[in-house]
Structure 1
């Protein structure tokens, strides 16, 4: 295994060929080439998310972005043909049919790679956080998903998007804060004057808020942008504190739904939402201890791109430590162009 991209970890050979790892998500595309035993590594990134359409995630658009970035990092590191390639993609489980059908052959044509894995971003987040061990990972940014495995199969909870779920995630938290502000504006119970003041400072007059928000294509990100304001009010405002407590309960419920019931599974947190710190982490740690007393809380070792590197290193050596799954971790070991 490796730690953060290009860093050797337990079980890693001293020297090895380069591997290509990709993280495709809502904020764009990140690409790295790393060597299992260390040595030169390089990465590139794009801020343009891969398009989705009637066929789901667009493999052509992904390759348009990936090819020039991958060629650059391969040249920079002196890696000719990568020993393995892993693409972690948000939405792979439900929107990845075209990727599974076309991407392994496209990667073989462009880079000569014959060992390819396509992974849901929840799987790369899991691999980056705790590697090939049984447990559960809560990944929270704009959205929220919990993923768990006993190393025989995968379980997931939530991750249904900001309209249907992602409970406790950044968009959920921000929306709850905005609602509390509007409740105070209207004179309804459950409102918060502190949050109303923050809304007006960040978005302008509340009467203009629907017009500012509803036409936006990036509504989940706009909602999530208010989550830090909710956290900053929590120490003095009981309404904001209760919103963070509810977010913690939602996350812990999802973690408990996917965590193995036997043994001493690991539980880790990953994602940008946790940068808001103690106002969320305090109640979340308490909820996890209450719901998962048999689990061992561990710090996240890395992010989803690090997880893609971990999986690629294992794949280059023979077989991923994490279980294969048609939708969560799809492996092709003889891709042909």
Structure 2
């Protein structure tokens, strides 16, 4: 097994990419272009798990690339992988719409594309072999249920006001988690009011600043929904500094170690449990299954259950 993180033809087996996928191969070269490994610990752990999974498979060679959050760089990486004639490409999109032409180009070159973690926009689905990752809309919906159940337990479901800190604008995961939450909340708690949404860009420091502004603007905030725990803990830190954390229910949509620790401390109520290791291993296996000609669902989701202070003992602390 060989791993490359450079723009280079990693091995002679990359030439096998000229054959139609689904044919039996003795080995595959699979390229991956990631979103932004340095932006948070989830993506860092994902990359480590992906490389570890590839190292355990003697029939797989991988080219591991990172776009650094730059759409233009990711498109260039897609084109480079096409030129290398890899057997399959896994993409964690920096932008669900902007990468579609590059995904189409790979499809036209008979290179199957697997989208991982965050799907591309629907108009690009015809060029994708499979999506592997979480169901972000379901995650958002489950977060709304966690929030609503908490308000009902507190007896404030008829008057509660909440704010939302969403992820990076234009990023499919951010869009879908917000949609899942916003669609589900009025179904389960019709009298709860979402007063404002602002992006936190998956960044804890920015989310803390967003929450500071919310606290100045609104005297009454009963809940905060954040697109992940990294942002949620940023909001928690702002509320703690203002002396208002005890009055607010904090709910995230991907449980990070900092969120788990804050839950254990009784400061953060709940989130959605999602493993970057499962995410990475599922993406690699999906690519292999597609190349092997197996019947792979277009939307290949793995489960992401609810986690709250009430059931957190059933889950291990996240490693990211």
TM-score norm. by structure 2 comes to 0.43
- Structure with the larger RCO, 1 or 2 (CA within 8 Å, 6+ apart): 1
